[in-house]
Amino acid sequence: MDYISLLNESQRRAVLHTDGPAMIIAGAGSGKTRVLTYRIAHLISQGVDPFNILALTFTNKAAKEMRKRVEKVVGAEAKNIWMGTFHSVFSRILRAEADKIGYPKSFTIYDTDDSRTLIRNIVKEMNLDDKLYKPNVVLGRISSAKNKLISVRQYLNDATIQADDEAAMRPKIGKIYEMYQSRCFRAGAMDFDDLLFNTNVLFKDHPDALNKYQNIFKFVMVDEYQDTNYSQYLITRKLAAQNRNIVVVGDDAQSIYAFRGADIQNILNFERDYPELDVFKLEQNYRSTQNIVHAANSVIKHNQAQLRKDVFTDNEQGPLIEVIKANSDNEEGKLVATTIFEEKMNNHFSYDDFAILYRTNAQSRAMEEALRRMNIKYKIIGGLSFYQRKEIKDLIAYLRLTVNPNDEQALRRVINYPKRGIGETTEQKLFVTANEINHSVWEVVMNASEFMGNRVGTAIENFSFMIREFALMAENNDAFEVAKHVAKKSGIVEDLYQDKTVEGLARYENIQELLNGIKEYVDDPEKEDKSLGAFLQDIALITDADTKADDGGEFVTLMTIHSAKGLEFKNVFIVGMEENLFPSQMMLNSRADLEEERRLFYVAITRAEKKLFLTYATSRYQWGNLRACEKSRFIEEIDPKYLNFKYGDTAGGGGVFERVMQRKSNLVSPPPRKQVAANYTPPADFKASDTSKLAAGMKVEHPKFGFGVVAKMDTQGNSTKAIINFDEVGEKTLLLSFAKLRIHT
């Protein structure tokens, strides 16, 4: 196979390089996998023994694909290459050398659930508060220490680390770390972090083992080098120290995993470790249109910490990037769904050609609901469907019990969550007793002391009192007020708030997003019944539809941007392009954090092949309060000549949502009410008035809808709305905190 002829000039030079250290800076869509594959094939064709080649990747899928490609070129010899993920390759080495560090060759590898269970048991044995010392939190702290090669002894003797744990009110984490490592060692087990930690220990404490593998691995290659952490960096540097034939491939502009311990300085400072370094830049993008490539370049140039490159493409210019402004996150979802439908119908795309990318998992709710209402199938990558996530099902179960205490499945789910001392044995006894006396489980729960004894009976009855209090509240309050109360009083919010890990924060945000959805339901003027029962009926229909999304066919793909790395789609929507959402509010405290967010946006842009859509909302619910949103600074950083701005309007008949929904009237009923589109141009001296004293009967002027008379004022909580009858467009409901109105006396 003449693979050299298949390469461009930059790729060819990188493949033909065989001696000394090299760094291949591979821009998005530049064919880095092809270069890695052909470089390995070229080494073998030049007489290098495959057993002397080490190729490290970050996923088994990447390793499998690379080996398959090499095998096509060189045949069965490809099977002899040391190729795989860091964890798979170094677990192989540790099994061979286990006796040197005191482990059996058949050591067990603990997965995350194993580690969590062990930590939970240790916390219990130490009589510590399991609400403070949650397994996720403790495991995250231990994992971070191992990735920085901080041993138990160093952890316990480091005053700064101990002070941090004291400040977090978890002073015993060091002791848990010590017991955890001791128990793992006694059990002949390593967790995933140990595979790297112990490889470093092996090479540091046993120079003979290091020398052995330095002689075996004469050629070291590392893919996605920008994602390596300190532990991985040290291992590869040690292995390459003797022969210095190390080649790393990566793109600093796609370094987005700092929260997992990845250190972008590893690639930025690679030349410091290897002054004789050869650098090859793969700058031709084969994936995206010119407009998308140029837009990505104009964004990433704002980062100070980077390896400069000029990515270009010979592909078609392509359409401008569409920036879509919506009035709310709910409208944003509708606009995305309808745009997908229209693009599919007009341009003969498949739904598989579309991806919706978001910064946080919680954002999927509005997208999922809009897609379902238009009968567009979708799949969630890297996460559960919003309504299938545990924390969402937990709160929904409480709400279901509030409306119907005889709902046995809901009762099973939450009777001991958050924990209230009702174990599985007790739970089973409740159901057995109910069957024996031929009563509902709820009747047994309300009279638990009679059947279960005083101690556990009191805990169960207290649970029943709480549910009955929720039910009383539901009789006189709307769905949002009840749900907000239930989320807090049940203990779910507090339980999730205590978990400060990335996963814990996401679960906490998801509860917030569910409450936002309920608030939107209550605020929807089309919903006459605002009760909790009506909301649950509405949501049940949505979740039922979700269970039918796995019967084959085409699907729109939904995922976080982090999950999208390495993937590509013809059409990409990046939603929630707002300040404090993207970039995230948590990433605005330092330049390093902000630049990581910008790299994340760069990754999102470069997933698109043909069309790219950026959407944002001017208002979004947060814990039930409607808040004004500001367009993301990242949109401003794109050269405007690559952008086409559009504005959503799903409130009136001119909106794209209404047009498409009318076209799909066989799927959605009833069709939206048709109104006259606004066509008013305000005078040059138009200036909004102070609306704090606005009252029914006043005449007002709106910059879009023209003149009208206030029919009614509606105040709910902190939000005040005005229902106005406009001369040209009819009745509109406007939120005063956002509406621009001039009062005419």
Q: pLDDT digits over 124-155, tens only?
A: 889 998 888 999 899 999 999 999 999 999 99
531 domain-assigned: yes
How high is the pLDDT of residue 658?
A: 44
How high is the pLDDT of residue 673?
A: 39
pTM recorded for the entire structure: 0.70
DSSP state of 323: E
The CATH number covering residue 260 comes to 3.40.50.300
Q: Which two tokens stand for residue 514?
A: 């569910």
How high is the pLDDT of residue 542?
A: 54
Task: Round to whole Å and give the CA distance between 152 and 150.
Answer: 7
Is pLDDT of 481 > 90? yes
How high is the pLDDT of residue 717?
A: 61
Of residues 533 and 673, more confidence is placed in 533
How high is the pLDDT of residue 653?
A: 36
Both 524 and 567 in one domain: the answer is no
Which of these three, 539, 564, 596, is where a domain ends? Answer: 539
Check if 226 is active-site: no
| Burial (CB count <10 Å: 0-12, 13-18, 19+), residue 14 | buried
Which residues have CB under 8 Å from 147's CB, separation 6+?
193, 196, 229, 230, 231, 261
CA atoms in the 13 A half-sphere facing the CB of 556: 28
Both 415 and 517 in one domain: the answer is yes
User: Which of 146, 527, 321, 501 minimizes the C-alpha distance to 519?
Assistant: 527
Q: Is 576 annotated as a binding residue?
A: no
Task: Round to whole Å and give the CA distance between 301 and 299.
Answer: 6
Catalytic residue selected from 309, 372, 607, 721: 607
Instruction: Count the domains in the chain.
Output: 5
Q: What is the mean pLDDT of the chain?
A: 85
Both 498 and 439 in one domain: the answer is yes
Both 427 and 508 in one domain: the answer is yes
Dihedral, CA atoms, 239, 243, 244, 246, nearest 10 degrees? -60
614 domain-assigned: yes
CA atoms in the 13 A half-sphere facing the CB of 448: 24
How high is the pLDDT of residue 354?
A: 97
How high is the pLDDT of residue 171?
A: 93
665 domain-assigned: no
Which residues have CB under 8 Å from 309's CB, separation 6+?
25, 27, 281, 283
Both 636 and 720 in one domain: the answer is no
Which of these three, 134, 157, 187, is where a domain ends? Answer: 187
User: Which of 577, 704, 683 minimizes the C-alpha distance to 638?
Assistant: 577
3-class DSSP state of 358: strand
- Other beta carbons within 10 Å of 560: 21
219 domain-assigned: yes
Q: Is 98 annotated as a binding residue?
A: no
Task: Round to whole Å and give the CA distance between 170 and 499.
Answer: 12
635 domain-assigned: yes
Both 518 and 609 in one domain: the answer is no
660 domain-assigned: no
Check if 622 is active-site: no
Phi-psi region of 384 (alpha: psi -120 to 50; beta: other; left: phi over 0): beta
How high is the pLDDT of residue 214?
A: 95
Q: Is 144 annotated as a binding residue?
A: no
Catalytic residue selected from 32, 365, 598, 721: 32
Tell the residue number behind the tokens 């219990």, with chain if given.
124
Catalytic residue selected from 193, 224, 369, 461: 224
Q: How many residues does the chain have?
A: 745
Both 402 and 279 in one domain: the answer is no
Order of all β-strands in the sheet with 699-702: 730-735, 719-726, 706-716, 699-702, 742-744
Q: Which two tokens stand for residue 527?
A: 């919903």
Q: What integer is the mean pLDDT of 414-435? A: 85
Q: Is 382 annotated as a binding residue?
A: no
Both 475 and 508 in one domain: the answer is yes
Which of these three, 130, 159, 187, is where a domain ends? Answer: 187
User: Which of 217, 147, 565, 503 minimizes the C-alpha distance to 360?
Assistant: 503
Which residues have CB under 8 Å from 100's CB, separation 6+?
202, 205, 206, 209
Q: What integer is the mean pLDDT of 203-232? A: 92
Distance set, CA 706 to CA 411, 599, 711, 743 (Å): 54, 44, 15, 12
State how beta strands 22-26 and 378-380 pair.
unpaired
Check if 32 is active-site: yes
Catalytic residue selected from 13, 18, 33, 637: 33
Both 211 and 180 in one domain: the answer is no
Both 501 and 437 in one domain: the answer is yes
Check if 33 is active-site: yes
Measured in whole angstroms, the distance separating CA 715 from the mean position of its chain's CA atoms is 35
Both 559 and 683 in one domain: the answer is no
Both 95 and 114 in one domain: the answer is no
The CATH number covering residue 461 comes to 1.10.486.10
Tell the residue number behind the tokens 């039922």, with chain if given.
544
How high is the pLDDT of residue 267?
A: 87
Q: What integer is the mean pLDDT of 158-177? A: 93
How high is the pLDDT of residue 520?
A: 86
The CATH number covering residue 151 comes to 1.10.10
Q: pLDDT digits over 100-129, tens only?
A: 999 877 777 777 777 888 898 889 889 998
308 domain-assigned: no
Catalytic residue selected from 97, 191, 193, 223: 223
Q: Is 27 annotated as a binding residue?
A: yes
Task: Round to whole Å and give the CA distance between 363 and 376.
Answer: 18
How high is the pLDDT of residue 660?
A: 44
Q: Is 26 annotated as a binding residue?
A: yes
Catalytic residue selected from 11, 181, 254, 650: 254
651 domain-assigned: no
Write out the residue range of the structural domain in which residue 417 sits. Answer: 389-539
Measured in whole angstroms, the distance separating CA 372 from the mean position of its chain's CA atoms is 21
Q: Which two tokens stand for residue 166?
A: 């004291």
Cis peptide before 319 (omega within 30 of 0): no
